A and B are shown apart, each in its own frame.
Chain A
Amino acid sequence: EDQVTQSPEALRLQEGESSSLNCSYTVSGLRGLFWYRQDPGKGPEFLFTLYSAGEEKEKERLKATLTKKESFLHITAPKPEDSATYLCAVDSWGKLQFGAGTQVVVTP
């Protein structure tokens, strides 16, 4: 059975304090791993898609990496506006299966 597990559940950071979020997965035939950002009361906002082990993508202070078993979302020198829930999802036969998310709070 396909599974997506995110850790930690919650992360509290000081502004400028870099950290990483983990997404481990087991899926039969990965067609893509996705990272989304979700603010309270809003729909997920697309961040990255990764397709193969070794792939990396960057956007501003965020960098996503992928191995055969897990993906990391690195947040470098975060700012308070980076506070959100970060969701990881895998494409399983054309459908997205989401992890439970990591709630990130960045304090000034």
Chain B
Amino acid sequence: GAVVSQHPSRVICKSGTSVKIECRSLDFQATTMFWYRQFPKQSLMLMATSNEGSKATYEQGVEKDKFLINHASLTLSTLTVTSAHPEDSSFYICSAKDRTGGTKIVSSYNEQFFGPGTRLTVL
């Protein structure tokens, strides 16, 4: 249980194009989803927090006009990397937090469950 999926798992694009990554909670409802970026040999860095039906909150240093986040439903959040450049190449991972009092799957509303990640390569 508590499964989070991401699509695509891997994407290669040309510099200047935009790429959309989807994050879905498959068996629970997530009022909050998070987007992380992970560079090789480094840990996860939070980019933004996404709440269903409201604007995302971005971490310091993350350009909100470059990384567009939409959280249109309780099971779907999307991250669009606009005008991607080679330095945007990274491993992007989303996570979802179960609603308080939600499914029986999770034991605590504080737990975040992660997707499998999307490897973005910008040529």
Chain B interface SS verdict (over half) = strand
Complex contact A42–B44 (CB within 8 A): no
> Chain B interface: which size bin?
20 to 34
Q: Mark A86-106, 1 if CB is under 8 A from B, else 0.
A: 010001001111111100000
A30 to chain B, nearest CB (A): 11
B93 within 8 A of A: yes
Do A43 and B110 have beta carbons less than 8 Å apart? no
Residues in A with CB closer than 8 Å to B34 are 95-96
- Interface flag for B54 (CB, 8 Å): no
Query: By the criterion CB–CB under 8 Å, are B115 and A49 in contact?
Result: no
In whole angstroms, what is the CA distance A43 to B115 when docked?
6
Contact A41 B119 (CB under 8 A): yes
Task: Indicate if B107 sits at the interface (CB-CB under 8 A).
Answer: yes
Which positions in B face A, CB cutoff 8 Å? Answer: 2, 4, 6, 32, 34, 42-46, 49, 91, 93, 95, 107-108, 110-117, 119
Interface residues of A (CB under 8 A from B): 31-32, 34, 36, 41-46, 49, 87, 91, 94-101
